[in-house]
């Protein structure tokens, strides 16, 4: 891996700009859900948990996804507001890790996104006690039918426990596949002054 190839592959630039570039390429090459991202949380005692969610918004202020705040991940995020994300795009043979603190999005933002969802998805959010034990699939379907009958007309209000979370990055790591497992890794870390420093890591 020569120095020119490295410079061309991962230019020295702010991490969000590089994320923009890679995400745009993934949207053009990934067959299913380029916005799918693994989100890792932990309990206050440090027990880890990870699951896939869909990225719904991002920008200089962070990376946003939505969930039931009473679910396992919601409870862990509220109790220990730190998380990590991992994007993996097999079509590009690339991945991005993002680490940082968690904050809840503004209610108006959660309202706007909930209103944009399909009606069936809105009803599903009302019907699901996410992460809690379920006696049978039939029980869940019966609850959906009941809630559907209760909301035949008019807008469906957002449940107060259904909200969005924003991961505010403190660190990014960009990983690119190379032959013979001589992969390329660049890490960005935000300093106390808010400025980003970057450097390469051994693969």
**H or E segment and range at residue 17:** helix 15-29
Whether residue 51 is predicted with pLDDT greater than 50 in this model: the reply is yes
Tell me, what DSSP letter sits at residue 141? H
Question: Binning pLDDT at 50, 70 and 90, where does residue 26 land?
Answer: very high
The domains of the chain, with CATH numbers, are 3-108+161-201 (2.30.110.10)
Question: What is the Cα–Cα distance from 142 to 131, expressed in whole angstroms?
Answer: 18
**Residue 5 pLDDT more than 70?**
no
pTM given for the model: 0.88
Find all residues with CB under 8 Å of 146, minimum gap 6, and list them: none
Catalytic residue among 181, 185, 187, 190: 181
Closest CA to 169 of 89, 81, 79, 61: 61
CA distance 56 to 34: 11
186 carries an active-site annotation: no
Whether the predicted pLDDT of 161 surpasses 80: yes
3-state secondary structure at position 94: strand
Q: Write down the pLDDT at residue 120.
A: 94
Residue 13: band (very low, low, confident or very high) from pLDDT cuts 50, 70, 90: low
Q: CB–CB of 189/171 below 8 Å?
A: yes
pLDDT at position 8 over 60:
no
Please write the tens of the pLDDT for every residue from 60-81: 999 999 999 999 999 999 999 9
CA dist., res. 9 & res. 174, Å (int): 11
In the chain, % of residues over pLDDT 70? 94
Give the integer Cα–Cα distance in Å for 181 and 39: 25
Residues 51-60 have a mean pLDDT of 96
The two tokens of residue 60 are 């200089």
Give the C-alpha separation, 88 to 156, whole Å.
Answer: 34
pLDDT, mean over the chain:
92
What is the distance between the alpha carbons of residues 105 and 108, in angstroms, rounded to a whole number? 8
Confidence at residue 11, expressed as pLDDT on a 0 to 100 scale: 39
User: Residue 166: how many CB atoms within 10 A of its CB?
Assistant: 20
| Mean pLDDT (whole number) for 182-197 | 94
> Token match 């209103």: residue?
115
């Amino acid at each position: 891996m020569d120095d020119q190839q490295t410079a061309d592959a991962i230019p020295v630039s702010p991490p969000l700009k590089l994320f923009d570039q890679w995400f745009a390429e993934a949207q053009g090459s990934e067959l299913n859900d380029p916005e799918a991202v693994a989100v890792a949380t932990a309990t206050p005692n440090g027990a880890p948990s990870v699951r896939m969610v869909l990225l719904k918004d991002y920008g200089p202020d962070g990376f946003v996804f939505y969930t039931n705040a009473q679910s396992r991940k919601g409870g862990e995020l509220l109790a220990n507001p730190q998380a990590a994300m991992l994007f993996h795009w097999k079509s590009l043979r690339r991945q991005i890790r993002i680490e940082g603190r968690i904050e809840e999005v503004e209610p108006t933002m959660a309202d706007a996104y909930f209103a944009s969802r399909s009606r069936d998805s809105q009803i599903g959010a009302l019907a699901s006690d996410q992460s809690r034990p379920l006696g049978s699939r039939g029980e869940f379907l019966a609850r959906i039918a009941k809630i559907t009958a209760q909301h035949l007309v008019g807008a469906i209000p957002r449940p107060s426990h259904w909200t969005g979370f924003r991961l505010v990055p403190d660190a990014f790591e960009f990983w690119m596949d190379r032959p013979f497992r001589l992969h390329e890794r660049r890490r960005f870390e935000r300093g106390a002054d808010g400025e980003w420093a970057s450097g390469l890591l051994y693969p």
